[in-house]
């Protein structure tokens, strides 16, 4: 594997638990690699699966999805929907010939800064081992509309 490869990971956090876990990791000065860039959502339930596909096609090598623990969702039960979408996404990625390990779901409560930092560290190493994400299909890097992201055409080039 290329030693100089530094993966870029887009991470989605919910406002109530996992973003606060990231804050806590900071306050407690827990260290993790700088390869992750976080986007705050109100709830992991806001995660549209196209966000993940868009991140991958826009240059991210992996996507981390985080939320409150099951049963602790600020919006009662929306993280269960995240879980369903995550499982679906892994299947879709596999069908597209993309390693499902490029996406990861982590539950982190507001008290779990250390856990989140560890999960990020593990994921960076995992993506580093997988190597840079190169789609098997020529994807438009900046599609004008999200709806067009999914690689439906030009399958023959795979």
Site residues, another protein (CB under 8 A):
4, 6, 8, 10, 16, 19-20, 22-23, 25-27, 29-35, 37-43, 45-49, 51, 54-55, 58-60, 71-78, 81, 85, 117, 141-142, 146-147
Our measurement of the distance from residue 153's CA atom to the centroid of its chain's CA atoms, rounded to an integer in Å, reads: 25
Q: How far is the CB of 8 from another protein (least distance, A)?
A: 5
Q: Strands 62-67 and 36-41, how do they pair?
A: unpaired
Nearer to another protein, 81 or 100 (CB): 81
Nearer to another protein, 141 or 156 (CB): 141
Nearer to another protein, 26 or 138 (CB): 26
Nearer to another protein, 145 or 156 (CB): 145
Whether the CB-CB separation of 31 and 117 falls below 8 Å is answered with yes
CA distance 38 to 19: 9
41 is written with which tokens?
């959502």
144 is written with which tokens?
């004008």
Of 79, 84, 102, 86, nearest in space to 15 by CA: 79
Q: How far is the CB of 4 from another protein (least distance, A)?
A: 5
Q: How far is the CB of 136 from another protein (least distance, A)?
A: 19
Q: How far is the CB of 64 from another protein (least distance, A)?
A: 13
Angle formed by the axes of helices 78-95 and 49-57, nearest 10°: 40
């Amino acid at each position: 594997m290329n030693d100089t490869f530094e993966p870029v990971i887009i991470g989605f956090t919910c406002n109530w638990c996992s973003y606060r876990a990231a804050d806590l990791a900071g306050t407690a000065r827990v260290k993790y690699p700088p390869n992750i860039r976080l986007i705050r959502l109100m709830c992991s339930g806001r995660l549209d699966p196209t966000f993940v596909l868009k991140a991958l096609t826009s240059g991210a090598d992996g996507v981390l999805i985080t939320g409150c623990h099951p049963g602790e969702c600020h919006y009662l039960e929306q993280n269960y929907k995240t879980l369903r979408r995550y499982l679906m996404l892994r299947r879709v990625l596999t069908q597209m010939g993309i390693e499902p390990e490029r996406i990861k779901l982590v539950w982190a409560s507001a008290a779990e800064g250390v856990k989140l930092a560890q999960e990020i560290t593990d994921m960076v190493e995992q993506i580093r081992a997988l190597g840079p994400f190169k789609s098997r299909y020529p994807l438009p890097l900046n599609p004008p509309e999200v709806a067009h992201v999914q690689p439906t055409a030009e399958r023959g080039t795979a």
